[in-house]
Amino acid sequence: MIIFPAIDIKDNKCVRLSQGDFNKINIYSNEPFDMAVKWKRQGASFLHLVDLDGARSEDIINKKSIEKITENIGIPVQVGGGVRSEEKVKNLIDMGVERVIVGTIAVENKELLKKLVSKYKEKIVVSIDAKNGKVALRGWELVSEIDSIDLCKQLEKIGVKTIVYTDISKDGMLEGPNFEIYKLLSQKTSLNIVASGGISSIDDIKKLKNMNIYGAITGKALYDNKIELKEALECSQEE
């Protein structure tokens, strides 16, 4: 199982939000690249970057920080946050991003998603953000009536290989992930599932690993020293 340390970037600073709320923000570092170096030194093999400003702008506001990481860190990076056009996907890939995470277009523009998956293959990852099993859109500002598992089945048919599934109610709360939804997704699809939201302990990592989940994103638990990355990585590699 891959452990993805999360680096959430706003105004070119490393921050964390609680439940996606821009009014509940903690700044952890003025230099996201320093956090990337820290996680790499502790053994990370893949980083998860979120362009928080991207959800509210078509421009890559945090381009400076993302480029500095992709050009210098030496391990693959996946980036999400407001990616709603092919131009933005291309720009990120040209910047050296290994995987681009799209969200809203998976619901609002399936034709574009099909085109992106056809063109960029496994470089396209879909983020499913859900609340009470219903898909949230546009930076979590709108909760739809779309069932998240039904959407995942549709994505599989389109050719998507990997999803990042976040239970919004768990995100940043350090209360543990929604294990039930990951179990259901594993049973009902053959997608590579990256668990996101609520991971708060090594036991959470072990449980996800035992469920054969493809990957887990951890952010707040790392920054608040609830989890040591080295120990999480060791757990994720155990046979």
Catalytic residues: 8, 129
Beta bridge partners of 49: 7, 79
The CA-based diameter of the chain, rounded to the nearest angstrom, is 43
Cα–Cα distance between 234 and 61 in angstroms, integer? 35
CA distances from 14 to 10, 50, 113, 181, 215 (A): 7, 10, 29, 29, 22
Cα–Cα distance between 167 and 181 in angstroms, integer? 9
In angstroms, how far is the first alpha carbon of the chain from the final one? 10
CA distances from 129 to 24, 119, 140 (A): 18, 24, 7
